[in-house]
Amino acid sequence: MKSLLTLGRQPKLGIAELESLFGAEAVTPFGAQAVFLDVEPEHVPFARLGGSTRLCSKLAQLPSPNWPDIRDYIAKSIPEQEHYVPEGKLTIGLSVIGVKTSIKDIERCLLTAKKAVKALGRSVRIVPNKQLELNAAQIIHNGLTNTNGWELVVISDGQNAWLSQTVNVQDIEGYAARDQARPYRDARVGMLPPKLAQTIINLGASSLQPTKQLLLDPFCGTGVVLQEASLMGFDVYGTDINPRMVEYTIGNLHWLREKFDVAGEYVRIELGDATKHGWQQPINVVACETYLGQPLMSLPNSEHLSKIIYETNLINHNFIKNLAPQLKSGTRICLAVPAWRGKHEFLHLPMLDHLTELGYNRVKFVHASNSDLIYHRENQVVARELIVLVKS
């Protein structure tokens, strides 16, 4: 296993995304928050991974998962390894994941290492921890992935512990720009976070596409999925029933091309009711956030909720029924569909029980179950359930 990735708020989403792109055998979950990947860090397309927060290269297995052993190892190895960093001031940060320790302990360990490095005649600065794990902003703003920086990451699953070094971290500013700085946004159609759009695309893509592929989003809204797909190099095709949304997507994709380096070349956006539309061929991948029904601030009474589920299900059901004969067998699809957080469990779209009859096989992941693939935030009534299908 050549790389280590730390995972986002819902780690299983990040694991399924990696499994989808690299295959189950290349992926080994490690503890609750990390995964080993059998791909060299320089070959991991980190910028397109929505579910991973950091990409690290593996340095060494640590002597034990206990902090005193880890602390002694780190305090000793930093001065031994400092000459690998080019001349100039060295900046060091340390994140500790899955090991019992404290911010004070981390500080003490780094101060010991700092003294030893200074004694070698080198100037060094340490980044103070606010938590046991540094956040992306601290890593970026302190230049810890630059040539004169080091973010060391200690990670344990309780039995083993590894030391690794961060080579890339989530581009938080890029995500914010692609989300909040877009000229056309609409709170009523929901705000799909760009990171989640990336995960949806990667679950639908199934591998790193070697040639140009056309990705269809039949519920394109303001165009977040198409934006992220264009940046990954897909040609994109979007449709929506609402003429305003068609205009918004066109405007946002124009803006994207002006501001970012867009690898995808082809763009086609048109008006279309996904339950009836005939799409231009060929379609290689379908990835979208479908119609989610009305936004809800609290769980409605059961009669009202049944009505919402019925109406939402009808549109989603008629959409995948209309889509099936238009896809070649083997075409992969990832749909983010609504699931409602009931009192005890999630309530799912009834159409999910009829996927086989509708012409699809649901993809099963080795390292994540279907119930792991529900994106939700605390207090959110309408969650997004990610359904990965292959046209039979």
Ligand X SMILES: C[S@@+](CC[C@H](N)C(=O)[O-])C[C@H]1O[C@@H](n2cnc3c(N)ncnc32)[C@H](O)[C@@H]1O
Which residues of the shown chain bind ligand X in the complex (CB under 6 A)? 189-190, 192, 218-219, 221-225, 240-242, 245, 273-275, 289, 291-292, 315
Which residue sits closest to ligand X, CB atoms considered? 221
Best CA proximity match to 215, nearest among 285, 267, 266, 263: 285
Measured from the CB of residue 280, what is the shortest distance to ligand X in angstroms?
16
Measured from the CB of residue 200, what is the shortest distance to ligand X in angstroms?
9
Q: Compare residues 30 and 375 and give the one whose CB is closer to ligand X.
A: 375
Q: Compare residues 67 and 291 and give the one whose CB is closer to ligand X.
A: 291
Q: Which residues are CB-neighbours of 269 under 8 A, at least 6 positions away?
A: 220, 223, 226, 237, 238, 239, 246, 249, 250, 253
> How far does Cα 225 stand from its chain's mean position?
13
Measured from the CB of residue 276, what is the shortest distance to ligand X in angstroms?
8
Q: Compare residues 17 and 133 and give the one whose CB is closer to ligand X.
A: 17
Q: Compare residues 110 and 333 and give the one whose CB is closer to ligand X.
A: 333
Token pair recorded at residue 367:
């390292």
Token pair recorded at residue 379:
């207090």
Q: Compare residues 70 and 274 and give the one whose CB is closer to ligand X.
A: 274
Measured from the CB of residue 273, what is the shortest distance to ligand X in angstroms?
4
HSE-CB for 170 with a 13 A CA cutoff: 23
Measured from the CB of residue 185, what is the shortest distance to ligand X in angstroms?
8
Is it true that the peptide bond before 11 is cis, omega within 30 degrees of 0? no
Contact 165, 152 (CB under 8 A): yes
Q: Compare residues 132 and 269 and give the one whose CB is closer to ligand X.
A: 269
Q: Compare residues 29 and 264 and give the one whose CB is closer to ligand X.
A: 264
Measured from the CB of residue 375, what is the shortest distance to ligand X in angstroms?
13
Q: Which single residue is written with the structure tokens 């994709």?
A: 253
Measured from the CB of residue 189, what is the shortest distance to ligand X in angstroms?
4
The CA distance from 306 to 298, in Å, is 14
The CA distance from 43 to 155, in Å, is 22
Secondary structure of residue 240 in the 3-state scheme: strand
Contact 387, 372 (CB under 8 A): no
